[in-house]
A and B are shown apart, each in its own frame.
Chain A
Amino acid sequence: MFNKFKMLLLMEFQKFGEYRGDVFIFTMNAIVLPWVLLNVWVTVAEAKGGEALDTSYLVQYYYVQIIVNVLVSSWHGRILADRIRTGELLMFLLKPYEYIRYMAANNVSEKVWKILFSLVALIPLYFIYQSYLTIPVWQTIPVAFVSVFLAGMIKFFISQVIGLAGFWTNSVNALRDYNEGLSLLFSGRLFPIQYATKVIPEAFFTFLPYYYFLGFPVNVILGHVTGTDLWFGIGVQCFWVGILYGLHILLWKKGLRRYGGFGQ
């Protein structure tokens, strides 16, 4: 079982090696927004004299967000939707191996490349903002690891579910854009939750999955979520993984029943 996945991982890793230029551009693209926001928020915080906004927290938040964003990223929904539309999926369906494992291998390999490339930006940024950055206390590391892993699963299955919409529509890109828009607002990407909830009702963060794949793990790493809130958050992450996994199974089965393998 593990040999199959290991082989797939190696193949995907080699494949991304062929497209290393593209992966580099995508990685930098994912880093630009949090870096810009970091600068905007720091400027605003300093203009306000550091009273209303905590400059040190903001720098740490966006720096860690860059790392978490790379670790939880998923782009395979687009690949899945394309394969459904062109009929390329057929060749995978004929193999005695679950399709989702191909996507998991794709996802993990992509992350390894992205982590390597993101160091190009993370190392200089560390030296620029060194005075604001602190090393997280070691006690938070195990739970942060769990939280980031669950965040990656949530994002993976959201991407998978959006890709599976390709069984019913050709406009999966529109769904992706819609999801990206909501994600910008509610994941904590544009602003940390403690500042956002002054404008947006907290329920949007509590009851939607977006916050739990970015803002929440970032705050866990920074040690800003503790005690009951921490375990409640981890519980919600598990809930969303379960819901999205179930939805993925349902859509996969229903989609395959109606799939004709177009593009023939």
Chain B
Amino acid sequence: MSVISVSHLTKYYQVHQKEAGFTGSLKSLFNRKYYDAKAVDDISFEIEEGELIGFIGPNGAGKTTTLKCLTGLLYPTSGKVDVLGYTPFERKHPYLKQISLVMGQKNQLWWDLPAIDSFLLNKEIYEIPGARYKKTVDELSELLDVKDILQVQVRKLSLGQRMKCELIAALIHTPKLLFLDEPTIGLDVVMQQKLRDFIKAYNQRYKATIILTSHYMKDVEQLCERVIIIDHGKLLYDGSLSNIVKKYAKHKSITVIFEKPVAKEKLEKLGKVVEFEDRRAVISMPREKSNHVAAKLLESFPVEDLNIEEANIEEIIRDVFSNKASRV
């Protein structure tokens, strides 16, 4: 069953344009020029219950705008958005009670009070029964290992501790749908991993649908089976992470270690030599030729070890964004 259905969603912002310098400023006083910036440009997709989806794209791609349209923070310019059977921008209370948004750069916790006070406020706002509130806070604070800091003023917490408490505040009403916008931004690698583990566990335990945007590919690789790639407001890809490799990775690379030094010129006949040392080389070639090149290496060179590798997912996505890979 689809919990999110987006059909031809478009969101344009009217942006004021000014010529450079003082004269430009004077001109714009009398003749203001505007243009429509296409933040989201005719995208459609469906998301099923319990899915954990990665929403990825470079800065300004339209990820956050899409998320804001889905949460009801923005009115779409056109198109239809249906989330949990509601039109998000009507922001009806029964709808808001079923969703949550965590923004890595925004706080919902009260800065001057301990996190537990913000939780209590959310308990009242979301009308959570006392027993359920206690059970959820206990469970989440245990999962995130923050029991000892719930009574500490939020402004005195570290970024990582605060982020964990933000997550609890966002999940206290056990939302069916969770939007995570850059949840690991600014965190160290240990804390990033802890948050990833938690998100995965939460998804499994509560069968919640989670939509994640992140610039860290590790977040997406570890958490999401399905990804939606968006760039310049257009949907470039919607499918499994593994299929991205098949679809966009046009090359494979072979790392080979030789028993004795070989001539680089001979290797260049097989493909592009990306790295070359005394007895080690990395050769890149079209995917379909990788088996043939491997056989040729084993046949004609003193090979000690050989490894065929897919391109790194981060590199592939970087290529997609920079238009190097062919797009459909």
Residues in chain A within 8 A of chain B (CB atoms): 3-4, 7-8, 11, 14-15, 18-19, 87-88, 90-91, 93-97, 256-257, 259-261, 264
B84 CB, min distance to chain A CBs, angstroms: 13
Taken together as a complex, chains A and B put the C-alpha atoms of A264 and B97 apart, in Å, by 24
Find chain B residues with CB under 8 A from A15 CB. 110, 112-113
Known: A87-B106, A95-B96. A18 touches B112 (CB 8 A): yes
Q: B115-127 toward A: CB 8 Å interface, digit per residue (1/0)? A: 0010011001110
**Which of A14, A88, A94, A97 meets B73, CB within 8 Å?**
A94
Taken together as a complex, chains A and B put the C-alpha atoms of A7 and B108 apart, in Å, by 16
Query: Does the CB pair A94–B112 fall under 8 Å?
Result: no
- The residue in B101, B110, B125 that gathers the most chain A C-beta atoms within 10 A of its C-beta is B125
Query: Residue of B at shortest CB range from A264?
Result: B64
Taken together as a complex, chains A and B put the C-alpha atoms of A94 and B89 apart, in Å, by 10
Find chain B residues with CB under 8 A from A264 CB. 64, 103, 105
Find chain B residues with CB under 8 A from A90 CB. 68, 73, 101, 103, 106
- The residue in A11, A94, A256 that gathers the most chain B C-beta atoms within 10 A of its C-beta is A94
Known: A91-B106, A94-B71, A264-B64. A7 touches B113 (CB 8 A): no
Interface flag for B107 (CB, 8 Å): yes
Find chain B residues with CB under 8 A from A11 CB. 110, 113, 117, 121
Q: B1-39 toward A: CB 8 Å interface, digit per residue (1/0)? A: 000000000000100000000000000000000000000
Query: Residue of A at shortest CB range from B108?
Result: A91
**Which of B91, B103, B117 meets A14, CB within 8 Å?**
B117
Query: Does the CB pair B124–A4 fall under 8 Å?
Result: yes
Taken together as a complex, chains A and B put the C-alpha atoms of A11 and B153 apart, in Å, by 13
Contact residues of B between 57 and 113, Cβ < 8 Å to A: 64, 68, 71-75, 91, 93-94, 96-97, 99-101, 103, 105-108, 110, 112-113
Find chain A residues with CB under 8 A from B99 CB. 94
Query: Does the CB pair A257–B120 fall under 8 Å?
Result: no
Find chain A residues with CB under 8 A from B73 CB. 90, 93-94, 259, 261
Residues in chain B within 8 A of chain A (CB atoms): 13, 64, 68, 71-75, 91, 93-94, 96-97, 99-101, 103, 105-108, 110, 112-113, 117, 120-121, 124-126
Query: Does the CB pair B74–A96 fall under 8 Å?
Result: no
Query: Does the CB pair B125–A97 fall under 8 Å?
Result: yes
Find chain A residues with CB under 8 A from B64 CB. 264
Query: Residue of A at shortest CB range from B107?
Result: A91
Query: Residue of B at shortest CB range from A101?
Result: B125
A1 CB, min distance to chain B CBs, angstroms: 10
Task: List, sorted by A's number, 19 A–B pairs whose CB atoms are closer than 8 Å.
Answer: A3-B124, A7-B124, A15-B110, A88-B106, A90-B103, A93-B72, A93-B91, A94-B96, A94-B99, A95-B96, A95-B125, A96-B93, A96-B94, A96-B125, A97-B125, A260-B74, A261-B73, A264-B103, A264-B105
Query: Does the CB pair B91–A7 fall under 8 Å?
Result: no
Find chain A residues with CB under 8 A from B117 CB. 11, 14
Query: Residue of B at shortest CB range from A93?
Result: B73
Q: What 6 A-B pairs come out closest when comparing CB atoms?
A: A96-B93, A96-B96, A18-B112, A91-B108, A7-B124, A4-B124
Taken together as a complex, chains A and B put the C-alpha atoms of A7 and B113 apart, in Å, by 13
A202 CB, min distance to chain B CBs, angstroms: 39
Find chain B residues with CB under 8 A from A256 CB. 75
Taken together as a complex, chains A and B put the C-alpha atoms of A1 and B13 apart, in Å, by 37
**Which of A19, A97, A260 meets B112, CB within 8 Å?**
A19
Taken together as a complex, chains A and B put the C-alpha atoms of A3 and B112 apart, in Å, by 21
Find chain A residues with CB under 8 A from B71 CB. 94
Taken together as a complex, chains A and B put the C-alpha atoms of A90 and B126 apart, in Å, by 17
